Amino acid sequence: MTKKTTTSRYDVAEHLRTAEEMAAYLEACFEEADGDAAFVAKALGDIARAKGMSQVARDAGLSRESLYKALSGERSPDFDVVPVASSSSLTAAALGGARAVVFLSTTGELRMGTSGLRRLLAWIADGGAFVGLHAATNTFANEPQFARMLGAQFEAHPFVGRGRVLVSDRKHPATRGLPSSFVVIDDEFYVFKAGPRRRAHVLARRATKRDEPLVWWRREGRGRVFYSALGHPNSAWRDPHVLRLVAGGLRWAVGSANRGDAALEQRRHRSPGGPRRYRFRAAS
């Protein structure tokens, strides 16, 4: 009588028990990846599962669903996306190999600290691309240089729920193809301490009697900056209008949109001056 052999799927996360084992595994994956961002993202996902997705999600301020999707290793058709577990990973070497940095609903004072923020702002002014989403405007509240780069600083979200968005410029790559207005089923609608219009070109705003910008772009030195205040609930990232906005904004920021957009951009908005000198207060 032939004995049956029972097998189970091998899961590397079950064998990563210590910080040393995780570090060795990640180092080996970096060597094997040979520049494959999806491979690295999958390795980070293995480590996150080993640590416990719930705890990692809490530490990152994300839902488990968002974290699983970010670390799934599924390749974007347009970009190589490398999720980073901490802003302190944005070293000079990491920035040197990147076309864009995305702050996906970051908030508060990040671990990169004053020196890391100085490095990031200089990289943007020297030609890097920065995309801020939703709570990114509530990041580094004690560093006014960050708010100036992004265009505004969060003040409050007095309205939460269903709202209409008016698209005021439908010729930009982020808004091209969108209707003149669309309804967001559920989101936090931000207002800002000082409106971005003085330093940015607004693409969309909330449909109210007040001027409440939601989406804009600007130039920072030789760099490009795009911001969208939409995207608080998970449902927002299944909304085709929100996805089109972010994808188009990211393409514009990295310079992969239509070349004719450069002339359009220059006619519509000119950012004052060249790269700024940044002055920082020492972190307490």
The answer to whether residue 5 is domain-embedded is no
Same domain, 108 and 74: no
Q: Which of 58, 81, 104 lies at the terminal end of a domain, its last residue?
A: 81
Q: Which of 81, 109, 130 lies at the terminal end of a domain, its last residue?
A: 81
Query: How many folded domains does the chain comprise?
Result: 2
The answer to whether residue 242 is domain-embedded is yes
Do the strands 129-133 and 100-104 form a parallel or antiparallel pair, or are they unpaired?
parallel
Same domain, 97 and 186: yes
Same domain, 112 and 149: yes
C-alpha to C-alpha distance for 193 and 153, rounded to whole angstroms = 6
Answer for the pair 199, 145: CB distance below 8 angstroms, yes or no: no
Q: What is the pLDDT of residue 22?
A: 78
User: Which domain covers residue 172, as residue numbers?
Assistant: 86-268
Same domain, 254 and 229: yes
The answer to whether residue 275 is domain-embedded is no
Q: What is the pLDDT of residue 141?
A: 92
Start-end of H helices in 154-275: 240-254, 260-268
**Residue keyed to tokens 């190589």:** 80
* Rounded mean pLDDT for each run of 10 residues along the chain, 284 residues in total: 65 80 76 66 75 61 55 62 82 90 92 93 96 95 95 92 94 94 92 93 95 96 97 88 93 72 43 34 26
Same domain, 144 and 255: yes
Same domain, 130 and 114: yes
Same domain, 62 and 123: no
C-alpha to C-alpha distance for 84 and 37, rounded to whole angstroms = 11
Start-end of H helices in the chain: 19-33, 37-51, 53-60, 64-70, 92-96, 113-125, 144-150, 240-254, 260-268
C-alpha to C-alpha distance for 89 and 112, rounded to whole angstroms = 8
The answer to whether residue 117 is domain-embedded is yes
What one-character DSSP code corresponds to residue 277? Answer: P
Same domain, 30 and 136: no
State pTM to two decimals. 0.69
The answer to whether residue 7 is domain-embedded is no
Same domain, 114 and 208: yes
The answer to whether residue 274 is domain-embedded is no
The answer to whether residue 277 is domain-embedded is no
Q: What is the pLDDT of residue 40?
A: 67
Contacts of 227 (CB under 8 A, 6+ apart): 131, 132, 133, 136, 137, 150, 151, 152, 196, 200, 215, 216, 217
The answer to whether residue 139 is domain-embedded is yes
Q: What is the pLDDT of residue 62?
A: 53
Q: Which of 81, 106, 123 lies at the terminal end of a domain, its last residue?
A: 81
